[in-house]
Chain A
């Protein structure tokens, strides 16, 4: 039985929603140009950038998969957070790739790639980014809806999951369509505050009522030394750490929702500072919900209740009875804030790639600002509809983090190779770029297909596993870039590396 009280917790959630929606809709009057809609006129300052990046990259789906990692692997499941924090700090300090990217004044990564590889590569890169991004985001609404329904103890017969998903989508869609990045930044800030207060309050409650010793003993009992060390965990090992180092480095460089904060920053220095000063948040992002997941394991293994079959549902099932009335309202507001900030930013970001790179050849210099804004708003709405139907249709198989890692790798492997080549390896060319895009997508797409077919499901999950297929994608993309570029130089030594439009 959930501790959610409609009369005490309901108004807390309602007040949060009212303030957020009002703020998001209010700033729409400042949107006069496409640049305002997509990158907030490049007027974002440091602390707003930190709040926005943190809020964007922490959604309900984040909380669910990081808690699932804690539940299934102990503290070792938080290793990806350390990998991402290290990558973000190093990239922020050195300016590796993000300095030339921000200096170039582009709105999206494919726009920069065009300058080195030509317009065909820009279009292909845009397509891969949108495909990987939308597949990745496709499960957000469903996972978010499941969490809210379970924690609030709603009866799915009288309040179906589909309703929760639709309500979530409409609330996010309204202010994102009206105000674009400006609304996203302002609501991200409010959502960061609410989300952080809720996360810290529940974490302190876990320490107070469960205690560190119980958490550590639970991990030691269920996972042994592997619960503290990913290298000796039987299900993780070196391939898990290597894949996460590659994945998180590539994501920090080219994940469009993350890089959008660098591109919206008022200058390159601010963009780099946003990275260095937000980097440790990515440890918190994995570790804090990971501790909640371990607390859920302690609760279920001590006979507190019957553990749910799906480990993804362990956290919401635990929280629904662990968090008291009053704090439950704050938790739900925090999780709504986390989810809305992520969904709004992701919808806008993938929309910006569709408008800027896929539709680029059709509108270059010919559409008025008003027409451009209209198309952008339509694209964001269309992405929302896609999310609703994909979330209803796609059945999750296996770990959520693995799914996100594999779908993200469809584009992260090739785009990170292309961006590094574009910024620093001037001898590379469009043949290498197209080769990298194809090679980088083949492995993760094949893995996803094998995983969905009954005949090959166990082969995909047990023999190959997501980590080896992921590592193969990064190696293949880099190899194809080198081989393709050298092949073009050998066969067509007279042709320029940048093809004409």
Chain B
């Protein structure tokens, strides 16, 4: 494996691992973000 091929091999593996990890983590945390966003907007409606 020459250096250029090794660069793309490492980058491809890193991309798949990073993307898989972020998908799981963001899927979990994003639910709470949506809940808090809608709660704050509901409070705004109440205050209007």
Contacts and interface: CB of A to CB of B under 8 A. Distances in A.
Interface of A: 27, 30, 32, 36, 40-41, 43-48, 50-51, 75, 78, 182, 185-186, 189, 192-193, 196-197, 199-200, 203-204, 212, 216, 220, 225, 228-229, 280-281, 283-284, 287-288, 291
A47 B48 contact: no
Given A47-B32, A220-B5, 15 more contacts: A27-B38, A36-B41, A40-B37, A41-B40, A41-B44, A43-B37, A47-B29, A47-B30, A189-B33, A196-B22, A200-B19, A212-B12, A216-B1, A228-B5, A287-B12
Contacts of A197: 23
Given A75-B8, A225-B4, A284 B15 contact: yes
Contacts of A189: 30-31, 33-34
B45 A32 contact: yes
11 contacts: A30-B41, A41-B40, A44-B37, A185-B37, A196-B19, A196-B22, A212-B9, A228-B7, A280-B18, A283-B14, A291-B12
A interface SS class:
helix
Interface of B: 1-2, 4-5, 7-9, 11-12, 14-16, 18-20, 22-23, 25-27, 29-34, 36-38, 40-42, 44-45, 48
A44 B22 CA distance: 18
Tell which of A51, A199, A288 has the most Cβ of chain B within 10 Å: A51
A276 to B, nearest CB: 13
Contact of A51 (B1, B19, B30, B36): B30
B29 to A, nearest CB: 4
Contacts of A225: 4
A154 B38 CA distance: 40
A283 B11 contact: yes
A201 B34 CA distance: 26
B9 to A, nearest CB: 6
A45 B39 CA distance: 12
B43 to A, nearest CB: 10
Given A284-B19, A291-B12, A50 B41 contact: no
Given A281-B22, A288-B16, A48 B37 contact: yes
A211 to B, nearest CB: 12
Contacts of B48: 32
A433 to B, nearest CB: 36
A45 B19 contact: no
A380 to B, nearest CB: 20
Contacts of A199: 19
A288 B33 contact: no
Nearest to B4: A228
Given A189-B34, A212-B9, A287-B11, A50 B26 contact: yes
B1 to A, nearest CB: 8
A288 B34 contact: no
Nearest to A212: B9
Contacts of A50: 22, 26, 30
A89 to B, nearest CB: 13
A48 B34 contact: yes
Nearest to A195: B23
A287 B5 CA distance: 14
A193 B33 contact: no
A286 to B, nearest CB: 9
A44 B16 CA distance: 27
B33 A47 contact: yes
B21 to A, nearest CB: 10
Nearest to A27: B38
A51 B34 CA distance: 11
Contact of B33 (A48, A203, A228, A284): A48
Nearest to B37: A43
Tell which of B11, B25, B31, B33 has the most Cβ of chain A within 10 Å: B33
A404 B45 CA distance: 40
A193 B41 contact: no
A287 B4 contact: no
Contacts of B31: 189
B18 A284 contact: yes
A41 B33 CA distance: 14
Nearest to B44: A41
Given A30-B45, A41-B44, A185-B37, A47 B16 contact: no
B31 to A, nearest CB: 8
B19 A192 contact: no
Given A41-B44, A51-B26, A46 B19 contact: no
B24 to A, nearest CB: 9
A196 B23 contact: yes
A480 B19 CA distance: 41
B34 to A, nearest CB: 6
